[in-house]
Amino acid sequence: MKRLLSLALAAALAVSLAACGEPESTSYPVEVVGPQRTSAPAPTESPEASATPQPGWEVAPRTDIEITVSLADYEKPNVTQLTQQDQLALFTQNGQTGVIDLSGTVRIPAEKNVHWCSVCGITNADESEIYEQDGTVVGAGGHGLASGAIYYDTATKKVYAEDVGWLYALDELGATTNQPFIAQAVTITPIEGAGGPDDLYISSTGIPVTLGEVQGQIIILPGGEPLDGVVYEAVTSASEGLFATKMAGYWGFINATTGQQAVPFIYLEVRPFNEGLAAVKSETGWGYVNTSGAEQTVMTFENAQSASGGKAWVKTADGWGVALLSQWAA
């Protein structure tokens, strides 16, 4: 049990693969869905015959799809290669979800109704099919999670991993990691008496304890010490050496090594950095900043996803399209 917990903590809530089948491969024909004119409804037939996009667009905006997330926001899955993962995005159409790339080509049709799994990558609703980026079925799902909550005790300054009613200290587990990780900041209080079956216990002492309310999230260095000692409202996994963190209702980015502010806490929402750019939402709308916090594009998009190769899915009043970001400079 301690070995499993050690692996989970070392990977900061790692996921273990229990089984994965290998059915006969199938693939789906790709469909070029853009670009289309922004002044007319999206065509339902012969999309490859649509018009050349307007200046500033790789794929002109369209209103019949909704881009929900760029796969650049996710860590690489365990099962599939997805060598061009940051070129892909999930989109919804008629209430179902497919995969589209930055050229506007549908790689997996929406009727397959896929979702993202941290183990499998792209998979369908019952995880009976796992897909490569070209839509080829490369396996079947079937796995379990082997990870528990990670806590930082604000009273003792210790890190614990929870598993089935027990709290294991970081030094007790002997876990090793070379990356900072995120823990829930709580106060752990001993209970007088023997405790009951529903109580938590400290593994090394057998003392029953209670967990206080979660105060926020804190970044922990590989050795178990806090990065900067700040309890943030929220923290997301580091990307390109920067943690997205939230304070006083606003998001910014801090350096994952020093804890110093890299991007000011002035944004309503943020997405992870990819290739030196992050999509952020200001009071005027979405746009892109670099790792120094300088705004690189206009900040007026209705929505925006993570960028790759100088392009990104963005939303305007005309719908979702792929913008050439250099032509939308601030």
pLDDT (tens digit per residue) in 241-289: 999 999 999 999 999 999 999 999 999 999 999 999 999 999 999 999 9
Please say if the pLDDT value at position 154 is more than 80: yes
Averaged pLDDT score across all residues of the chain: 85
pLDDT of residue 330: 85
Please say if the pLDDT value at position 7 is more than 60: no
Q: Which two tokens stand for residue 225?
A: 């010490």
Q: Are 82 and 328 in contact (CB under 8 A)?
A: no
Mean per-residue pLDDT, 86-94: 97
pLDDT of residue 1: 45
Please say if the pLDDT value at position 30 is more than 70: no
Indicate the helix (H) or strand (E) that contains 324. Answer: strand 319-324
User: Which residues in 285-321 are b (16+ Cβ under 10 Å) and which e?
Assistant: bbbbbebebeebbbbebebbbbbbeebbbbbbebbbb
Q: What single DSSP character describes residue 295?
A: B
Proportion of the chain above pLDDT 90, given as a percent: 67
113-142: per-residue pLDDT in tens? 999 998 889 999 988 999 999 999 998 876
**pTM value?**
0.82
Q: Which two tokens stand for residue 161?
A: 């991993």
Q: Is 300 left (phi over 0), alpha (psi -120 to 50) or beta?
A: alpha
